[in-house]
């Protein structure tokens, strides 16, 4: 289990845990990011300040801080 900010572009896995606080947690959930859902890391900006992930057909942009609160369960995903 590790935060998605530790992952490379292209890596995917299952969300193990979301540590964000409300109301961000609720917002992430409304966008389909919840414990147990599939997630794929699509992109980040050059300074890795903003990330893009995909879950169940929805693409979501988030800041590093929020991205770091999403923990992923995956084997082949090291930086």
Partner 1 sequence: MKKIRVALAGQPNVGKSSIINSVTGARLHVGNFSGVTVEKKEVFIEKGDYEIEIIDLPGIYSLNAYTPEEHVAKKYLYEEDYDLIVNVVDANTLSRNLIFTMQLMDMQKKMILVVNMIDEIEKQGGEIDRHKLEELLGIPVVLTSAKEHRGVDEIIDQIIVTYESEKPKNKLYYDERIEEQVNRIVKVLHKSPHFKDPEYARFIAIRLLDRDEDIYKIIHDLPIFIELHEMLGKIYRELELEYDEESTSDVLSGDRYALSKALVMEAVRKPQKKVTLTDRLDKLLIHPVFGLPIFLFFMWLLFQLTFEVGSIPMDMIDAAFTEMSNLVKAVLPDGAIQSVLADGVIPAVGSIIMFLPNILILFMGINLLEQTGYMARTAFLLDGFMKKFGLQGKAFIPLVSGFGCTVPAYMAARTLKNPTDRIITMLILGFMSCSARLPVYVLLIGAFFPMAQAGNILFIIYISGAILGLIVAKILRTLLFKGEPEPFVMEMPPYRFPSMKALAMELWIKTRLFLKKAGTFIAGASMIIWFLSTYPHQPEIEARYLQKIEMTQDGEAKAQLQNEMISKVLERSYLGEIGKTLEPVFHPIGFDWRMSVAVVAGLAAKEVVVSTLATLYAVGDADEKSNTLLQRLRENVTFKAAIALIVIIMIYSPCIAAMSTFWVEVPQWVWRGFYLVYPNLLAWLMAFAVYRLLDFMGY
Q: How far apart are the first and last CA of the chain?
A: 14
Residue 33: CB minimum distance to partner 1, A: 9
Question: Encoding tokens for residue 24?
Answer: 């961000």
Residues that bind partner 1 (CB under 8 A): 22-32, 34-37, 42-47, 49-50, 52, 56-63, 65-66
If 0-12 CB within 10 Å is exposed, 13-18 middle and 19+ buried, where does residue 10 land? exposed
Residue 60: CB minimum distance to partner 1, A: 6
Residue 71: CB minimum distance to partner 1, A: 14
The residue (of 9 and 78) whose beta carbon lies closer to partner 1 is 9
Asked if residue 60 lies in contact with residue 25, where contact means CB atoms within 8 angstroms, the answer is no
């Amino acid at each position: 289990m590790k935060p998605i900010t530790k992952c490379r572009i292209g890596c995917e896995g299952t969300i193990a845990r979301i540590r964000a606080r409300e109301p961000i947690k609720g917002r992430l959930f409304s966008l389909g990011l919840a414990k147990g859902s599939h997630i794929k890391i699509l992109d980040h900006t050059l300074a890795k300040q903003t990330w893009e992930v995909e879950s169940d057909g929805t693409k979501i942009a988030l800041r590093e801080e929020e991205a770091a609160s999403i923990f992923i369960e995956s084997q082949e995903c090291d930086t």
